[in-house]
Amino acid sequence: GAAKTFDQFIFDPVAGSARGVTVALQRPEDIAAASPLMVSANPGNKSSVVIDAVPTAAVAPSALPQIKDVFNNGFSAVAATEFLSAGSVARIPPEISKLDILSLAKQSQAQFGLGTSDLGNVGVLSLSYDTTQSDGSVVSETVTFNVDFQTVKGFSGVWTDASQISEALNRGLVTGTIVSTGASTTLAAIGAHSSGAAGSLNISHTDANFTAASVSISTGGSIAGLTSDKVSPASDVQIFTREGRHVAGTTPDSSQITAYQTAMTAANGFHTGATYLGDYLNGSGASGYLGMTVKTFDTTDMVTKVNTSTSDVTTKFSLLDGVDTNSQSINGLSSAAQTTSYQMTIGSTTKTLAAGDIVEPTGASVASAMIEKFRSDVPIASIVGTAATPVAGDSLSLTFEGKSYTLTIEKGEPVITGGEPGRLTAFFDASKQLHVVSASGTVGRSNIDIVVDNANTENVNVA
């Protein structure tokens, strides 16, 4: 109809729209919330200490050299860094996640410098040294080695490089004489090792101190070697944070702590105001600084590990090649004689391994040499069969010292396989009796047994 006064027409496009609003989230875990308070006190705190975080200036990087620039990177006695005095400082970069540090004693050395004409005319090498006994007494000895070329080689000629003399000494091709007794010996037998290159000849000793060294020249006169004493024990290594936390090293007394505190200066790489704290010293995990792991070892811990977690006691031997073994430098200026010896006790019997008892620089070689030491003093095991004619293809199962062995007849001869290689041997005597014998004694007094198994009756029949 027609419009009248005061008529109104209202157009509201949002009217009633709220009725169509629903909550899209159906689970509480779908809600993301944040708080402007990033750090809050734990209600379980036992004190009212307040920590305030304020911005500070960036910490200046340390000007100290990195550890790789101070210490040689690698396990090597001849290449290890030698310090003239204590107090050397280096920094460990933040990107380093694992670090092994080895501190070694220094062996006594005898060093020769030989010219070309000297090499061609060397005669008798003389080494004098002092050895300190277990009771504290000192024994002095002199050993001579005739390193004349014709005497060593058996034909005329000249040495052209000191490495040739060094090799002859190390291999025992040159037999020396102990002056006090007249007995024959070798360089290795007296506990020494040599290194040579060009005109440099170096000789080191395991535990003695060289007091004099010389080599005669066939054309007249002699050349004296420069000797240096051994330095033992090895140096202590301490590791600190830049704030002064002592995280690894030896436990200090009060005077040492004072010395450490005095050394905690900016010039030595510490933060200004650094304070010594030893609460984390050699700690690991929850007890370590920021959860780090620190493991310290002495010589025994590094080369032996005894496991008693089961009814059997097992010992694992290790040998650090380049540290415990004979080693020599390529320039003939340093050498290291094998140092590690091993001692083991079973019951009331104790055996010791010296450097000459170890064939190869491996833990397995050490273990083999040690067990053979014990086996040498105990009875061997054996079993003897009745007279019989061997049949090709026959097979016999045996057990010995907890290991299984198989004896088979091959071309009329008994052959044993399995178990510990070379531990058992077998043979027929003139009466066709089969003998199975252990190569050396059995520490546990074990018997060689024939396997009796109902599932393998043929084994008993063969036996």
> Could you state, in order of their start, the residue ranges of all structural domains in the chain?
108-228, 299-375, 382-462
Residues linked to residue 214 through DSSP beta bridges, in sequence order: 126, 224
Q: Is 269 left (phi over 0), alpha (psi -120 to 50) or beta?
A: left
β-strand 122-132 against 138-146: which pairing, if any? Answer: antiparallel
Report yes or no: 193 and 335 within 8 Å, Cβ to Cβ.
yes
- What's residue 151's pLDDT? 93
- What's residue 224's pLDDT? 95
Q: For the chain, which residues score pLDDT lower than 50?
A: none
- What's residue 39's pLDDT? 67
What's the whole-model pTM score? 0.66
DSSP 262: H
| CB within 8 Å of 185: residues ≥ 6 apart | 143, 175, 176, 177, 178
pLDDT tens-digit series, residues 18-69: 777 777 777 776 777 766 656 677 777 777 777 777 777 666 777 788 888 8
- What's residue 457's pLDDT? 59
d(CA 446, CA 260): 59
pLDDT tens-digit series, residues 4-20: 777 777 777 766 677 77
